[in-house]
Structure 1
Amino acid sequence: MEISKLLDRVESNAIVLPEFQREFVWKNSQAKELMNSLFEEFPIGSLLTWETENPPEIKNEAIDEEKHALFEVLLDGQQRLTVLYMLIKDEIPPYYTEDDTENDPRDLYLNVGDGKFHFENKMTREGVEWVRVTDCFNGEVDGVTIAQKKLGDKPEPVLELSKEYNQQIAQLQNVTTRSIPVETLPKSADIHEAIELFDKINSQGTHLSDAELALAHMSAEWAYIRRNMKQKQAELATQGFEFNLNFYVKCMIGTLTETMTYEQVYNVSEDELKSQWYELAGKDNKDGIFDYVINVLQNDGQIPSSDYINTRDVLIPFIVYLNKQEKQLSHDEKTQFLRWLYSGMMWSRYSGSSDTTVEHDISLLDGESPTDQLMQEIRDERGRIEVQASDLQGRGKRTRRFYNMVRTVIRANDPVDWKTGEPLKGSYELESHHIFPKSKLYEEYDSGNSTHRKLVNEIANRAFLTPATNKQLGDELPESYLPKIIEDHPSALDSQFIPDNGELWKLQNYEDFLAKRRELLADAINDYMENLVVGEEGNEEQESADELIHKGENTRIEFKESFLYDVYREQANKDLKKEVAKEICALTNSEGGAVVIGVKDDTKEIKGLDRDYNLMEKGKDSFGLQLRQEVSNRLGQMMATAYTHVRFEEVDEKEVCVIWVDDSPKPVFFEEDDSEQFYVRTGTSAQPLSIQEANKYIDEHWNQSPIA
């Protein structure tokens, strides 16, 4: 079929694109090569369409199903057809939106002198023979005008040259008359047969990966799964965690099948797909397993963004385990999994056949001690977990597995800025600073020698500072600026494991400095891994129930006599449960703290939990379940699973419940009767704030936008 007719059919929605298809992902180089092939009359392959009366969901809802009895669904060739449509029609095809196009090929130029193509740059802007390809197709290019610009007022030479130019322009315009073979699947084919045939034919061009093919099959069952994945992808990207769609597909495969066998999800029902996706992403795109993992990485793991993760696959076994455990992890399990995540990244656990390795590691999750088995796999493969100084020798920023671990350990060691003394925590954007400046080192070392370049750029010659401080230090030598830093901020060097021996700061002792700092960094990594502390600021908040009761109520400690039992009516009162949730909300929005249930607030008398247990079908088990449900329903699932830690203790032969509450990294609202209220801890009680007060508080504590 002629290209012009194909494009007209796209314009009229006679050819449509199914929802499961990818976005426009071709690079500019591919678009240029396509046009060059057509210009030179080389073959460009065929298109694959599927005629059906029952189409899958269509991208961009580009058709009125009532007006079409038979649909021609484009299965293969949308990248080529999109390039042609945008260059010839100068518009985005109706099956895409602007957000669906990663690159725009309409800045492609043709040189009418030699017939070469090039994307816009200084050469195309200043050269008179360069014209936009789209302008050639819409009739805005004339060879005479171009020839006049090149030769000036010389009628005969201009006429001769314009003929050559117009010949090139006509050759380009004739592309619209070229024919592209169109292969068509019969109406009898179903969607899975269409996708499988598509994959077989799709051996040329931008080939589908196994994950992309699995996503296409899942889209055949749940049309909008791709759209849902992209929404979650965009939401997590705003938090600093950028993962491609393949990662989300693999998480679905892992949690649905506990394998990495892509074909096993080809026929999973829409209901199963939705149910599993909502577990991962959250029903309203929040409080899902992904959110829990990000919380653990940022708040417990000193990993502020995906830039610190050198292999995304290391997260998949953790995500599968969380799915199996319904996001209920003990403090020890969280610690052990973080230790394993660090080890897996440092020792490149998934550098080879990653899917095979991920599947093997998933198979270990049902063991009695899964993290022990996972760690043993790394030991068996690498011989050890511990880092040695020699592992860091010659390793620079490109060796992400060690570079990221050094950054993580330094973040965990309370570093401060070398100029201001401000803690370098939270959302600070840090730059990698050469302690010995490159400009000085290359006076001693050969920049053309790869061994010398590795020495200059070693991890051991890096510190992490704010961009402003990095710029201020410039090319000063450490023997000049480090003494001043120690004087102003005594802990600054220790926090980044920098040798304090002034002799090592001299340029002639650079390699001795590297050797010493490698030792310090290796020891720091091993110590951090060995003594990993998760979710605690030392042990100051982890007093026993007896100690909390002895202290009495204050800004961080709240007593509740019961959870469900009304001491005045001597019967169940569900309103009491929401009072506990309010106190938890107030504490997490303040500085965190503890709620102790089973203690009379005014006298500190131990009442215990038996009266609550007696009102519940399964006693203590029901108590814990109802407590989690109340927190989840009122404050969100993340509060129930990530920011509250419940334990039961015996005091004076009576059992009490202690709920440790972390301070939240973002505002938490209390939900009641379809409305939200913001609580903070004031004195010994939870106090609601007005919208104006809440806006001010949120801005001061989290630097976030006000609420409406």
Structure 2
Amino acid sequence: MQISQVLDKVDAGDIALPEFQRGYVWTRDQVRGFFQSLYRGYPIGGFLTWSTKADGVQTRGGASGRDGTIHLLLDGQQRVTTLYGVTRGRAPSFFEGNVSALTGLHFNLQTESFEFYAPAKMKDNPVWVDVTALFKSGLASQLVAVTQLANGDADLQVRYIERLNRITQIRDRSVHIDEVTGEDKTIDVVVEIFNRVNSGGTKLSKGDLALAAICAAWPAARPTMNQALEDWSTAGFSFKLDWLLRNVNALVTGEAQFSKLADVDVPTFQSGLAKTIDSVSYLLNALGGRLGLDHGAVLSGRGAFPVMSRLLHRHGGSFPDAMTRDRLFYWYVHSFLWGRHTGATETVLNQDLQALDDGGVDQLVSVLRRSRGGHLEVGSDDFVGSSMGSRFYPLLYMLTRVYGAQDFVSGVPLRDGMLGRLSSLQVHHIFPKALLYKHDYSRAEVNAVANFCFLTQDTNLKIGAKEPAEYLEEIESRMPGALATQWIPTDRDLWKVSSYPDFLAARRDLLARAANDFLQGLHDGPSPVALTDVQPTLAASSPTALHTTAKPDLADEVPGLRELLSEVREADLAAPELDSEVIDPRTGAAIIVAAAFWPQGLRADGGVAVVLAPDTSEEEQAALEAADYRIFHSPEALRGYIRNVRAEH
């Protein structure tokens, strides 16, 4: 069958997606590579469809509404969606994903390469042809530009036209379609086939496979879950589908493995999903109210949510009392401070779920304490970490909120969502970055968590790049006590740039003391410094918008990183995780918080993981090398590697 016929069948509804299929996951780099293969005539593989009665199956986007037979794609969704999106200029009706991966593909008439639109080199440049426009308007629409580009060279004009013809003829290319059919091909059999044939493509997670089986029996599962994720995202909290499914699994089965969902019937799953959505919203309310963790940038420890969801389920969807809530949050904070759920997720989660079922919150705390060698205390050295990716950055924000830390100018206790112009919270470097770089301090020292505090945007702008010895003295005289609420040492000698290391040590000591006092208060029960128990930020089943603040632009923190990220986008390479924790895959322990991290490699389709970490200790460097990460210490060094990667392709 010709590609054009396949796409026509998509338009007609003859070819659709079964609801158990996941969404579109290809990156721009994969789209570009796919069209390069099509252009060169390389094999692109066949498609696999399931032929079944149209009135007996649910398709992505709703019931097909057609009589007779419908063909559901089991293998080839990414390729068919890409072909449809680029040639039609719009996503197909079953599309679920990032539409930007399908828009802006251009072809270079001289080099015969495909790239996505970059204004600096493509705007008003006839060398670059809009591929979608070519498919929609035909070759005739490009003849004037081709003639001008050839500049009277008839042979060159013919070559350009041949190249454009080769693109438009992609629609005429024949592809092989295998078909699964027969009354013995039940939905369970088809899901098994789907799992097998897709295991060699873009890697499916265990959650994908579990959800495929669930959606086969209840097609509305994925849309229902996506709606909940969208609601939380609107409220400032971004979660993934696997994460939500893990919460449902823990709530319903009391275990972590997705395989346990195979024994859960549809009514039980439906009920469990509804209760999980309510529980997560309830927890977000409680964490924002009790701990001040009121937006996604400071919400660490997401791996602990399945355990907390299970606890709420055991108590009818709410905390039975304030003591249970506070002791659970004591466990939660310590679990993310020490990376409890960053390693072997299912193993550790099963231990915690079992402990919860056996002995409640006290048993949870006991298991965590044993894993830490018997103690759960924050030491001053634990605040040595740097950057907003440090586990202790959310703790600093939490302390700011629960202790009512004051703004340096207004004296108002700080919180998210403050009203008025320039009132949003920002991270403030107590010792300005420029001052510290001028005195040859490293990025890790400049961006030490102990050098951070939170202020309103207005106050941050007023302070600017003033030296601490100047502006801290002014604040202390005009707003007595404000510095103490932010754990700023009041010894004037520590405010000198020459004393910066001593300032950090003193502030780390103050922060550790404050953290332990508050955490001990959580363990022992509600304390006077607690915020309102549950603020009305999220409705149980319909979250409302929150403002995300205190989330500075990392690209300004690392010299050259903004330019590097721009080059990465221009090259259509995978987007990195910024300020991301890098884990040792052998032990599950955190090695370092990297400025940028490509866990799947730069090309997003497999390869060596890449780490940009400007400052590493000898131990961290050795651990990264032992884990086979490719490490770069500056954006400039990584930029050279990127250029080599592009040249190889």
TM range (shorter): 0.7 to 0.9
Counterpart amino acid of residue 25 in structure 2: V
Pick from 165, 172, 180 the counterpart of residue 167 of structure 2.
172
Q: Is the counterpart of residue 20 in structure 1 residue 16 in structure 2? A: no
Counterpart amino acid of residue 172 in structure 1: I
Per the alignment, residue 250 of structure 1 pairs with: 246
Tell me the CA shift for residue 175 of structure 1. Answer: 1.5
Mapped contact 1:25–1:103 kept (Cα < 8 A): no
| Unmatched runs of 5 consecutive residues or more in structure 1 | 282-287, 447-451, 542-591, 593-641, 644-662, 669-701, 704-708
Per the alignment, residue 110 of structure 1 pairs with: 107
Q: What is the CA–CA distance in structure 2 between the aligned matches of 1:95 and 1:463, rounded to whole Å?
A: 46
Q: What is the CA–CA distance in structure 1 between the aligned matches of 2:433 and 2:334, rounded to whole Å?
A: 31
Distance 1:441 1:521, change over 3 A: same
SS of corresponding position for 2:123 = helix
Per the alignment, residue 400 of structure 2 pairs with: 410
Mapped contact 1:16–1:74 kept (Cα < 8 A): yes
Q: What is the CA–CA distance in structure 2 between the aligned matches of 1:533 and 1:295, rounded to whole Å?
A: 20
Mapped contact 1:56–1:191 kept (Cα < 8 A): no
Pick from 267, 274, 280 the counterpart of residue 271 of structure 1.
267
Tell me the CA shift for residue 540 of structure 1. Answer: 12
Distance 1:55 1:104, change over 3 A: farther
Distance 1:337 1:27, change over 3 A: same
SS of corresponding position for 2:490 = coil
Mapped contact 1:24–1:79 kept (Cα < 8 A): yes
Distance 1:328 1:526, change over 3 A: closer
| Unmatched runs of 5 consecutive residues or more in structure 2 | 419-423, 541-545, 548-649
Deviations 1:189-241 (A, max 9, x none): 12122122212211344222111211111111211011111121122223222
Per the alignment, residue 610 of structure 1 pairs with: none
Q: What is the CA–CA distance in structure 2 between the aligned matches of 1:459 and 1:31, rounded to whole Å?
A: 40
Tell me the CA shift for residue 144 of structure 1. Answer: 4.0
SS of corresponding position for 1:74 = strand
Deviations 1:98-131 (A, max 9, x none): x754434121000111111111112122422101
Counterpart amino acid of residue 386 in structure 1: E
Deviations 1:244-282 (A, max 9, x none): 11111111111121112212223532211222222223x
Per the alignment, residue 60 of structure 2 pairs with: 59
Deviations 1:420-460 (A, max 9, x none): 222212424422111111111111116xxxxx221111111
Q: Is the counterpart of residue 74 in structure 1 residue 78 in structure 2? A: no
How many residues are treated as equivalent by the alignment?
531
Counterpart amino acid of residue 503 in structure 1: D
Mapped contact 2:2–2:171 kept (Cα < 8 A): yes
Pick from 231, 255, 260 the counterpart of residue 259 of structure 1.
255
Pick from 378, 383, 386 the counterpart of residue 377 of structure 2.
386
Per the alignment, residue 462 of structure 1 pairs with: 452
Q: What is the CA–CA distance in structure 2 between the aligned matches of 1:667 and 1:168, rounded to whole Å?
A: 57
The residue correspondences of 1:262-411 to structure 2 (distance < 5 A) are 262-266=258-262, 268-281=264-277, 288-326=278-316, 327-368=318-359, 370-383=360-373, 384-393=375-384, 395-411=385-401
SS of corresponding position for 2:87 = helix
Tell me the CA shift for residue 351 of structure 1. Answer: 1.3
SS of corresponding position for 1:50 = strand
Distance 1:228 1:534, change over 3 A: farther
Distance 1:160 1:481, change over 3 A: same
Per the alignment, residue 116 of structure 2 pairs with: 119
Mapped contact 1:13–1:94 kept (Cα < 8 A): no
The residue correspondences of 1:92-241 to structure 2 (distance < 5 A) are 92-96=91-95, 100-122=97-119, 123-142=121-140, 144-150=143-149, 154-155=151-152, 157=153, 159-187=154-182, 188-241=184-237
Deviations 1:363-395 (A, max 9, x none): 111223x323222333333333211112222x1
Q: What is the CA–CA distance in structure 1 between the aligned matches of 2:56 and 2:390, rounded to whole Å?
A: 46
Mapped contact 2:402–2:530 kept (Cα < 8 A): no
Per the alignment, residue 550 of structure 2 pairs with: none
Deviates more, 1:350-359 or 1:372-381: 372-381
Tell me the CA shift for residue 293 of structure 1. Answer: 0.9
Q: What is the CA–CA distance in structure 2 between the aligned matches of 1:466 and 1:77, rounded to whole Å?
A: 51
Counterpart amino acid of residue 411 in structure 2: G
Larger Rg over CA atoms: 1
Per the alignment, residue 674 of structure 1 pairs with: none
Distance 1:398 1:417, change over 3 A: closer
The residue correspondences of 1:367-516 to structure 2 (distance < 5 A) are 367-368=358-359, 370-383=360-373, 384-393=375-384, 395-428=385-418, 429-445=424-440, 452-516=442-506
Mapped contact 2:48–2:73 kept (Cα < 8 A): yes
Q: What is the CA–CA distance in structure 1 between the aligned matches of 2:407 and 2:455, rounded to whole Å?
A: 6
Distance 1:311 1:26, change over 3 A: farther
SS of corresponding position for 1:183 = strand
Q: What is the CA–CA distance in structure 1 between the aligned matches of 2:80 and 2:433, rounded to whole Å?
A: 49
Q: What is the CA–CA distance in structure 2 between the aligned matches of 1:537 and 1:341, rounded to whole Å?
A: 17
Q: What is the CA–CA distance in structure 1 between the aligned matches of 2:12 and 2:500, rounded to whole Å?
A: 69
Counterpart amino acid of residue 61 in structure 2: N
Mapped contact 1:259–1:362 kept (Cα < 8 A): yes
Task: Note the aligned Cα RMSD (angstroms).
Answer: 2.6
Deviations 1:46-79 (A, max 9, x none): 32211112643111236223x2x22211122212
Distance 1:141 1:178, change over 3 A: closer
Mapped contact 1:416–1:424 kept (Cα < 8 A): yes
SS of corresponding position for 2:482 = coil
Q: Using the aligned pairs only, state the percent identity.
A: 29
SS of corresponding position for 2:505 = helix
Distance 1:350 1:364, change over 3 A: same
SS of corresponding position for 2:49 = strand
Deviates more, 1:462-471 or 1:500-509: 462-471
Per the alignment, residue 43 of structure 1 pairs with: 43
Q: What is the CA–CA distance in structure 2 between the aligned matches of 1:336 and 1:38, rounded to whole Å?
A: 59
Per the alignment, residue 601 of structure 1 pairs with: none
Tell me the CA shift for residue 405 of structure 1. Answer: 1.0
Bigger relative contact order (CA 8 A; separation at least 6): 2
Q: What is the CA–CA distance in structure 2 between the aligned matches of 1:375 and 1:267, rounded to whole Å?
A: 30
Per the alignment, residue 89 of structure 1 pairs with: 88
Q: What is the CA–CA distance in structure 2 between the aligned matches of 1:80 and 1:276, rounded to whole Å?
A: 35
Q: What is the CA–CA distance in structure 1 between the aligned matches of 2:237 and 2:513, rounded to whole Å?
A: 29
SS of corresponding position for 2:382 = helix
Q: What is the CA–CA distance in structure 2 between the aligned matches of 1:247 and 1:377, rounded to whole Å?
A: 23
Tell me the CA shift for residue 16 of structure 1. Answer: 1.2
Deviations 1:467-525 (A, max 9, x none): 23222222111001111111222222111111011110011111111111111111111
Q: What is the CA–CA distance in structure 1 between the aligned matches of 2:473 and 2:309, rounded to whole Å?
A: 46
Q: What is the CA–CA distance in structure 2 between the aligned matches of 1:254 and 1:108, rounded to whole Å?
A: 43
Mapped contact 1:50–1:185 kept (Cα < 8 A): yes
Tell me the CA shift for residue 360 of structure 1. Answer: 1.6
Q: What is the CA–CA distance in structure 2 between the aligned matches of 1:161 and 1:144, rounded to whole Å?
A: 13
Q: What is the CA–CA distance in structure 1 between the aligned matches of 2:377 and 2:46, rounded to whole Å?
A: 55
Per the alignment, residue 30 of structure 1 pairs with: 30
Mapped contact 2:49–2:178 kept (Cα < 8 A): yes
SS of corresponding position for 1:228 = helix
Tell me the CA shift for residue 7 of structure 1. Answer: 0.9
